[in-house]
Amino acid sequence: MLNLSRPRRNRKSQAIRNLIRETQLTPHDLIAPLFVIEGSNVKDPIHSMPGIHRLSIDLLVKECKELYGLGVPCVSLFPAIEEKLKTPEAKEAYNPNGLYQRAIKEVKNAVPELLIMTDVALDPYSSDGHDGLVDPKTGEIKNDETLEVLARMSLVQAKSGSDILGPSDMMDGRVGYIRDALDEENLINTAIMSYAAKYASAFYGPFRDALNSAPKKGDKKTYQMDYANVREALREAYLDESEGADILMVKPGLPYLDVIKTIRENTTLPMAAYNVSGEYAMVKAAAERGWVDGEKIMIEMLWSFKRAGADMILTYFAREAATYLNH
């Protein structure tokens, strides 16, 4: 008689597979990135991201209501700013009456229970297309000078109703600088989700199409991370945690599951993964050609982030995934 260990006994039915499942994925784990644009009743398709649109504030509010109804607890907003408003100093970033601040207020007023996460970086507002201020003579990204602008825009966003600030700029010391600025204004309940490990990646292309925010010159490799490194990611995470981050993020997600796992094993803070635009676009493109089952790939991909250690996932699949998980 064979004396075998039989792990298949724990896989013999859906009921037992559900019972012993090690990780869970629900709509409550999802954050939906959304793009806002000026106008009324505007739904402008982003061709490199099938199914995703730039939305005017009225349609953005409608989308947020529907996402909240599906069980998605948080949206992350990104502004598509008119080119004429972009300057080297990125002054529109802290305009209290700008598109972004008006969108935050409208969404918060319409769906007060929905968490609003906002982006803290200069590239949507900069005529240079960089996340920090650029020295016009040398082309160098000016770290310390940028911190003041980041703090100003953080305060404006928080006062407009942002629940979670997402510094995505990768300037040294920005989490502590922003935390101090918030606390000085008694905005102590505004959380910070730091882009702790944000890599200089080719997976961001469709996102830059959405905001027309690609660098006009050079690249972002002096401030975004080298994709060959993981120990460096741990250093960045430690620094952000020590400076007051409430949540740590890894971006992109799918090619960096090892980074998510490494940071997860070395922090007690909540962890986020960003399932970025290029990852989304690849699945959609392959599914449109009939090469893969897009829905099954979507769910398997999202589950991989949870398995690696992410507590929450920013994903352009949020609506689609929430609908799937609710049935």
pLDDT in tens, 245-303: 999 999 999 999 999 999 999 999 999 999 999 999 999 999 999 999 999 999 999 99
CA distances from 53 to 166, 212, 234, 313, 316 (A): 21, 14, 35, 20, 11
Q: What's the pTM value of the predicted model, to 2 decimals?
A: 0.95
CA distances from 16 to 5, 21, 241, 300, 307 (A): 17, 8, 39, 19, 19
- The whole-number pLDDT of residue 190 equals 98
- The whole-number pLDDT of residue 213 equals 79
Fold type of domain 24-325: TIM Barrel (3.20.20)
- The whole-number pLDDT of residue 1 equals 64
- Side-chain half-sphere exposure of 280, counting CA atoms within 13 A: 27
Q: Whole-angstrom Cα distance, residue 314 to residue 274?
A: 5
- The whole-number pLDDT of residue 211 equals 84
Contact between 159 and 149 under an 8 Å Cβ cutoff? The reply is: no
Contact between 246 and 269 under an 8 Å Cβ cutoff? The reply is: yes
Catalytic member of 198, 220, 284, 306: 198
Contact between 250 and 233 under an 8 Å Cβ cutoff? The reply is: yes
Sign of CA dihedral 36, 67, 164, 134: negative
Q: Which helix (H) or strand (E) holds 69?
A: helix 57-69
Query: Residue 187: phi, psi to the nearest 5?
Result: -95, 55
**251 is a catalytic site residue:** yes
Percent of the chain with pLDDT strictly greater than 90: 93
Q: Whole-angstrom Cα distance, residue 246 to residue 254?
A: 23
Q: What is the DSSP letter of 60?
A: H
Catalytic member of 108, 251, 284, 306: 251
- The whole-number pLDDT of residue 64 equals 98
Contact between 118 and 77 under an 8 Å Cβ cutoff? The reply is: yes
Low-confidence ranges of the chain (pLDDT < 70): 1
Nearest to 224 by CA among 257, 259, 252, 253: 252
